[in-house]
Each structure stands twice: as C-alpha cells, then as structure tokens.
Amino acid sequence: MMDIKKGYYPQFDIDLRYGQECEKLVAKMLTGFHEVKSDRRALTTGNLFIEFECRGKPSGISTSKADWWTIHLSDDLYLIVDSVELRRMCLRKGIRKVVGGDERASRGYLLPIEGVLKSEKARKENG
C-alpha cells in the first residue's frame, strides 16, 4: 500500500479529476427532474419493467419528460438512469415487450438489470 504521508501518490491527480467529475454528475442529477418508479420484483427476477403503455395509451418512458428515471428497488437501493440512455436501452434488439403492472393493464419493456449496469455508455465511461 502506498504511503500518502510521504507525498507520493502517482494516480492522485487522475483520481481527483474523476471524483470531481462524479460530483458534478451527482449535482446535475439532484437538480434535474426525476421520474420515480418502484419495481418490487426487479431484484427477484433480475429485470426491470419499464412501462411504455397503460390501458392502450402511451405512458411511462414513451411520454416522460424527466431527465432521469429513479427506480426504487428496495428500501436502501435505488437505480438512477439518464432518461435518454434508458430509452435507448429499451429499444435495443432482443428487449422483450411484456404485459404487467397494476391489474396487468400496462405494457412494458423487460430490461435486464445486468444490461443496464453494463450499458454501452457505462462501459465507455469506466473503461
């Protein structure tokens, strides 16, 4: 382990810049408009249900004006996704459309959580 007290930490400048960029992103998320959804089954199924239609009318991701989608997964776990990126993920080849939601009156994209965490944008940002 590197001894920071000796004044030598070769990646400090890189880590500092990355941390500062992350702080800016969090500030942007906190000031943006959020669509907050709850998905009680996501952690069990491994999939997010992203609604696009309810009772035959466009809804959810297809009509949302939000900058961010905040998805409540459990009391201590939330997933925050840029709305534009979420729409792009939902329209990827192979993403299934299913019936679900309250009274099974909605249609939505069944989006694997693992796919969200490994999105193309996330891979680019994190190497």
* Domain-located, residue 107: yes
Bridge-based pairing state of the strands 34-38 and 68-74: parallel
pLDDT at 8 over 90: no
The rounded distance, in Å, linking the Cα atoms of 96 and 94 is 6
* Domain-located, residue 28: no
What is the pLDDT averaged over residues 33-59? 96
* Domain-located, residue 39: yes
Domain that holds residue 52: 34-126
Per-residue tokens: 124: 């680019």
According to the model, what pLDDT value does residue 6 have?
Answer: 56
Location of structure tokens 């500062």: 20
According to the model, what pLDDT value does residue 105 have?
Answer: 94
Domain count of the fold of the chain: 1
